[in-house]
Structure 1
């Protein structure tokens, strides 16, 4: 797993895992909920994608799972996202990357 940042959506998208299984999405959601006290405010589950919205500080962020693109974070309001919301995505992605690496190391 390596963090990749993209801007194709008109905002900063942090790709946490581009080849992830669904259970990895739920692991990340659990880290957000348990370790970072995130409360998911909106959950949309489709057959090929899952989008869960939450607040991180003053910013609305979406945790996304796609069977085509993996797991990513991005500002919920995408093109209308502020510079600070985009920075918050990067900050959160770095925290999650560290936590996931720690979990992965313990599993070896």
Structure 2
């Protein structure tokens, strides 16, 4: 049951420019996390990070997806700053960006508090 705000209650839901920017950033980052394959990639990178390693092998066989699809998932995670790509010729070494994930978690928690 929802309680009605008394007539004298004045709640403003107007957002500041900073609040709108925060909401847009959080939404874009949440969207980057909204696919099971991207969550799987982050889980793999998290596991490798614990071993002080990075991913420079082929994710296609691990995920069972086409190379172009895997590349797109990596691009989205990189654009959201959740992963870092380091050149490691002839391949690229992907690492989780723990700082960015922690920042997202903190901002999301602050947003709801």
Going by fraction, where is strand more abundant, 1 or 2? 1
- Provide the TM-score with structure 2 as the length reference: 0.27
